[in-house]
């Protein structure tokens, strides 16, 4: 279809009616809304609600600055990233490997699928006490938790990807004389790659939430620990400061993964 034929399509209508000149205004409006919200928070604190419970933006900024200077932030941020990254890589790789095997060995998959679905249905954070008893309160228990979460996501996605490969393609490669390993490397792996990448992408934010959630429940370091320990001291400013860092990481990661503004359309699937 030529470009001009597409012009004729009714779809052009809506694009057309979106006034182009409004764009800078929208940007200004957005900034104003954010500033207004922050200002409202600042002013309302201690007037509409006690500062003890809601803190205020200025206090939070000061706290963040102090934490940055005295190294608190660095220490906890690093711990979170370490647990997050290690769990992500190990769990992701295991999930891909098992998913691949199950995708190829369909009968085994049918037998095992019930057990996998049962484990998948379990809210993974509930496994934390078990991991803490097994691995201690430090990084390892969080790594195990994160690895469990991503394991199932990549497993399912990889398995579905392998299954999705057209059997005719496999047959035609066989006829060409391809060996098993050649079929694997020349067909199954590249065909499954997009599925794996999607799963890895979806998992980034889910595993971040899991890491911090695990740290909130039981840990001695990390952003989640910072949130939990601040709240235990009724230090709302500390909770918000740590949460701000978390939201910032999460926003950056989401923006990198989904491209500009596509965020709302691909929530953790």
Partner 1 sequence: MAMSAAPPRRGERRLLVVVLRLALAGVILAGWEAYGRLVDSSLTSTPSDIAAVLAGWARSVLWLNLGVTLFEIAAGLVLGVPAGIVAGLFLGRARVAGALLRPIVVLFYSVPFIALTPLLIMWFGVGSASKVMLIALSSFFLLFFNTFAGAQEVDPDLVAMADIMGASRRERFVKVIAPACAPRILSGLKTALPFALIGAVIGEMLAARAGLGNLLMDSGNDFDMAGLYAALAVLMVVGVVMNALAQRLETWLLRWRP
Partner 2 sequence: MDEPVIELTGVAKLFDARGVIAKALDEVDLVVRPQRFVALVGPSGCGKSTVLNLVAGLLDPSAGSVRYRGNPVERPNRRVGYMTQKDTLLPWRSVADNIGLPLELACRALGRAERHDRVEQMMELVGLAGFGRHYPSELSGGMRRRAALARMLIYEPETLLLDEPFGALDAQLKLVMQQELARLTHLRQMTVLFVTHDLTEAIALADEVAVFTRRPGRIRRLCKIDLPQPRDIVSVRFTPDFAGYHDLLWNELKEEFGTGGDA
Give the number of residues in contact with partner 2, rule: CB under 8 A. Answer: 12
Name the one range near partner 1 by CB under 8 A: 7-15, 65-73, 95-103, 153-161: 7-15
The answer to whether the beta carbons of residues 203 and 149 sit under 8 Å apart is yes
Q: Residue 41 in 3-state DSSP?
A: helix
Q: Residue 45 in 3-state DSSP?
A: strand
- Among 157, 219, 237, 254, interactor with partner 1 by CB under 8 A: 254
- Among 61, 201, 250, 257, interactor with partner 1 by CB under 8 A: 250
- Torsion, Cα 232 141 255 266, to 10 degrees, reads -100
Which residue lies nearer to partner 2 by CB, 20 or 175?
20
The answer to whether the beta carbons of residues 159 and 103 sit under 8 Å apart is yes
CA distances from 228 to 25, 53, 65, 221, 240 (A): 41, 15, 20, 10, 11
Q: Does 114 bind partner 1 (CB under 8 A)?
A: yes
Q: Does 19 bind partner 2 (CB under 8 A)?
A: no
Which residues in 136-175 contact partner 1 (CB under 8 A)? none
Which residues in 176-215 contact partner 1 (CB under 8 A)? 205, 208-209, 212-213
2, interface contact from partner 1, partner 2, none, CB < 5-8 Å by kind: partner 2
Name the one range near partner 1 by CB under 8 A: 84-92, 96-104, 188-196, 216-224: 216-224
DSSP letter for 69, please. H
Q: How far is the CB of 12 from partner 2 (least distance, A)?
A: 6
Give dist(CA 87, CA 94) in Å, integer: 11
Which residue lies nearer to partner 1 by CB, 163 or 186?
163
Give dist(CA 62, CA 80) in Å, integer: 22
């Amino acid at each position: 279809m030529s470009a001009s034929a597409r012009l004729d399509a009714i779809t052009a209508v809506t694009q057309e009616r979106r006034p182009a000149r409004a764009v800078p205004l929208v940007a200004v409006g957005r900034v104003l809304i954010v500033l207004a919200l922050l200002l409202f928070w600042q002013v309302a604190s201690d007037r509409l609600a006690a500062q003890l419970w809601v803190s205020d933006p200025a206090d939070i900024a000061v706290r963040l600055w102090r934490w940055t200077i005295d190294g608190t932030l660095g220490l906890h941020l690093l711990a979170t990233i370490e647990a997050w990254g290690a769990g992500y890589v190990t769990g992701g790789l295991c999930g891909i490997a098992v998913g691949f095997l199950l995708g190829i060995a369909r009968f085994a998959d049918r037998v095992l699928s019930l057990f996998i679905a049962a484990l998948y249905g379990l809210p993974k954070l509930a496994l934390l006490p078990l991991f803490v008893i097994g691995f201690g309160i430090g990084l390892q228990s969080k790594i195990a938790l994160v690895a469990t979460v991503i394991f199932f996501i990549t497993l399912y996605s990889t398995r579905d990807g392998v299954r999705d490969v057209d059997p005719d393609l496999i047959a035609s490669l066989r006829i060409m004389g391809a060996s098993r390993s050649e079929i694997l490397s020349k067909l199954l792996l590249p065909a499954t790659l997009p599925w794996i990448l999607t799963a890895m992408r979806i998992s980034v934010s889910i595993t971040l939430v899991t890491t911090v959630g695990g740290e909130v429940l039981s840990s001695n370091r990390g952003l989640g620990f910072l949130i939990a320990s601040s709240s235990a001291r009724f230090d709302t400013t500390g909770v918000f400061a740590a949460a701000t860092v978390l939201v910032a990481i999460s926003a950056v990661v989401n923006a990198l993964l989904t491209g500009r503004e596509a965020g709302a359309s691909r929530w953790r699937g």
